[in-house]
Copies of this chain bind each other. A is one copy, B any other.
Amino acid sequence: MVKVVILGQGYVASIFASGLEKIKKGELGYYGVPLANELPIKVEDVEIVGSYDVDSNKIGKSLYEVVKLYDDNAPESLKGIVVRKGIHLGSLRNLPLKAEGLEDKMTLREAIDHLVEEWKELKPDVFINVCTTEAFVPFESREELERALDENRKERFTATQVYVYAAAKYAKEVGGAAFVNAIPTLIANDPVFAELAKESRLAVFGDDGATGATPLTADVLAHLAQRNRYVKDVAQFNIGGNNDFLALTDKERNKSKEFTKSSIVMDLLGYDAPHYIKPTGFLEPLGDRKFIAMHIEYVSFNGAIDELIINGRINDSPALAGLLVDLARLGKIAIEKGQFGPIYEVNAFYMKNPGPKDMPNIPRIIAYEKMRMWAGLEPRWL
């Protein structure tokens, strides 16, 4: 049994909850769950015990009611869980939503204690953070972090930073937990939080779930690198219609990318081929099914120039939700193994920006095999 608390009950978390219940009821196969039912912990063993959000239209509603906003076939078994009030700290700023958070009526320290108390009742093993993309600034030291909490400097924090602090405190008290950071805010890649997690017995998977075009780009670039083709340039566009793309129209929020480690291009090719890789726009009718377009130009033998053009229509939220079904179970396995802090073997496959800091992107096809071995499974092709 893996008990899960969701932080941010939006599109991804709702598809996660919905798909999970449908699998339990035998209505759905394991498609989109990389490890399917190969792990000793079964998909059916994953249980959502709590859910937090800051949209005032969701707080206090049943998980069933919220999931129904995103999936017409929401399973009724979700009726038993109520969405609780979490931390916002401006995370819905500029989005067409009314936000409220625990910190509206208490200090950050008080809010953290409040969460830890609730969690000690809910007894989660794994926290899954799927808040909206945030504009954040890393902390330079543990001292700066503690001081900012002491001074209740709300403008200094994002929701994710507060959640992971609370999760670490909880882990320390109960003897172990795992935190899955599926959004770009640096946690696994932030030495301050990585160290805090390790000493608190909190396993960390992060940062930024590896969905969409990026992992495919990684494997295509590895494919070219292995043939020693010289990549002249890479352009990658994507456009979608969900809240995540809407949030990216907010320039502040896009700054979160500034702290991202050097790109997959350098890691996989070994040189910094000129590239333009970024989320490009918001187009409401596309909904959750984004459109991606990629163009790669490279030099082959005898100076020949080749071109690849890749287009896709990809459901954004289910891609990430399927990974979360693995990550919840791998979180429990990490706790059982007594392995805490950022776990690269897992992150290299599941994360766009695999922590800890300075660890490289490697071809996903190879990362997959290493991840299997970490989890105690046979490699598939190695």
State how many residues of chain A have any CB contact under 8 Å with chain B: 81
Point out the residues of chain B lying under 8 angstroms from A321, CB to CB.
301-302
A319 at the interface (CB under 8 A from B): yes
A18 to chain B, nearest CB (A): 6
Point out the residues of chain B lying under 8 angstroms from A28, CB to CB.
302-303
Contacting B at CB under 8 A, from A255-294, are 274-276, 280-286, 289, 291, 293
A204 to chain B, nearest CB (A): 22
A363 at the interface (CB under 8 A from B): yes
Contact with B along A235-249 (1 / 0, CB 8 A): 101010100000000
The complex is assembled from copies of this chain, and their number is: 4
A291 to chain B, nearest CB (A): 5
Which of B289, B315, B322 has a CB less than 8 Å from the CB of A227? B322
Q: How far is the CA of A311 from the CA of B308 in the complex (A)?
A: 6
Interface of A is mostly: mixed
Which of B303, B307, B313 has a CB less than 8 Å from the CB of A312? B307
Give me 5 other A-B pairs in contact (C-beta within 8 A), A19-B302, A225-B380, A235-B286 excluded.
A28-B303, A226-B365, A300-B318, A302-B318, A307-B313
Q: Interface residues, chain A, CB within 8 Å of chain B?
A: 15, 18-19, 22, 28-36, 71, 215-216, 219-220, 222-223, 225-230, 232-233, 235, 237, 239, 241, 274-276, 280-286, 289, 291, 293, 295, 297, 299-315, 318-319, 321-323, 325, 349, 362-366, 368-369, 380-382
